[in-house]
Amino acid sequence: MPRIEPWGNLPESVRQHLIDRMRERAISIADLNQLRLWIESQPEVPEGDWYKDFGSLSAAAVYPKTFLLRGQAAKGEAL
């Protein structure tokens, strides 16, 4: 199984995109911290489409590029 990429391995443009989405969509610091801790644990993730719910946001993909707000449709298997 693949592992989620550590925050430091994400391209700068992806990290900045995620930070911008956080600011624009008022994602809570607590939920962002949950995401950070999860990424730091280098979890295994399934092949194909999946997402992980963190309360005020969901993240998906080995290189997450988009935060979905609560209630936005996510594609794939819930982790």
Query: How does pLDDT run along the chain (79 residues), one tens digit per residue?
Result: 788 878 788 788 877 887 787 788 767 888 888 988 998 898 888 888 888 999 888 888 776 666 777 788 888 888 8
Looking at residue 16, its amino acid is: Q
58 in any annotated domain: yes
1 in any annotated domain: no
For residue 20, give its domain range: 7-78
pLDDT at residue 66, rounded to an integer: 67
Q: Quick one: which of 72, 65, 78 has its CA closest to 13?
A: 65
Question: How many domains in the chain?
Answer: 1
Tell me whether strands 50-53 and 77-78 are parallel, antiparallel or unpaired. parallel
69 in any annotated domain: yes
39 in any annotated domain: yes
38 in any annotated domain: yes
37 in any annotated domain: yes
